[in-house]
Amino acid sequence: MDRNSVAELHFANLKNPISAANTVLLRLLREGQIQRTTATIPYCYYGPELTIKKNSAKIGHWLAILNVYKEMRKQGPVETFQVEPKYGSKGVAEPDIFAVFRKTPFFIEVQKTLYSEKQMAEKMNRYVDLCRSGVIPKPFPHVLIVSEQRYAIDGDWPFKVFQAQTFSRFMEALKPKQTPQPVRAKEGGIRYIVN
């Protein structure tokens, strides 16, 4: 987690969340309870057992997953949020996130890198295999792909598939579209209002 996210998630109720986060993170770092990388600004912190290069590309991916979590929290309570859960050996679908939000299960893919059509088809086919395996109890989670890129994966899947640039945009797309309702103006004519 980056320092600003630590402050937002754990110290938001204090007068100066950033200062409180800095104090606690520095103490935990000195005690060997956490590690930090200075390759990012603000610095990123992670557990003591994690072995990762201080400038790993994986850091950006984990921060993107963290941003999904923060967006979900702004939309409502998050019942479950698991990062990179495993459902079998190599070759089985490996979602970036398993979440339960508003009593609905989701597998969320956070795509920071551009996948080819073939790579995305392979990824989706692994979800089909996982769905058919019976390892996941029904209902099978919806698959949400969070990416700047829109993928050509429209098709007949045994589960619902969504794509959005952010989780917030996904939620916005679910809201019913408002249509203008005609209203008679007092002086004649028609004006439209949106309910």
The ranges assigned to domains in the chain are 1-56, 76-176
Place of tokens 């072995």: 51
pLDDT tens track for 115-157: 999 999 999 999 999 999 999 989 999 999 999 999 988 788 9
pLDDT confidence band for 105 (50 / 70 / 90): very high
The dotted CATH code for 76-176 is: 3.40.91.50
The rounded distance, in Å, linking the Cα atoms of 95 and 162 is 14
Task: Tell me phi and psi for residue 180, to 5 degrees.
Answer: -65, 135
- Distance of alpha carbon 73 from alpha carbon 139, whole angstroms: 23
Cβ(46)–Cβ(2) below 8 Å: no
Q: Are strands 161-164 and 142-147 parallel, antiparallel or unpaired?
A: parallel
* pLDDT of res. 181: 65
The per-residue pLDDT for range 107-125, each reduced to its tens digit, is 999 998 889 999 999 999 9
Predicted structure pTM score: 0.85
Helix (H, G, I), strand (E, B) or coil at 3: helix
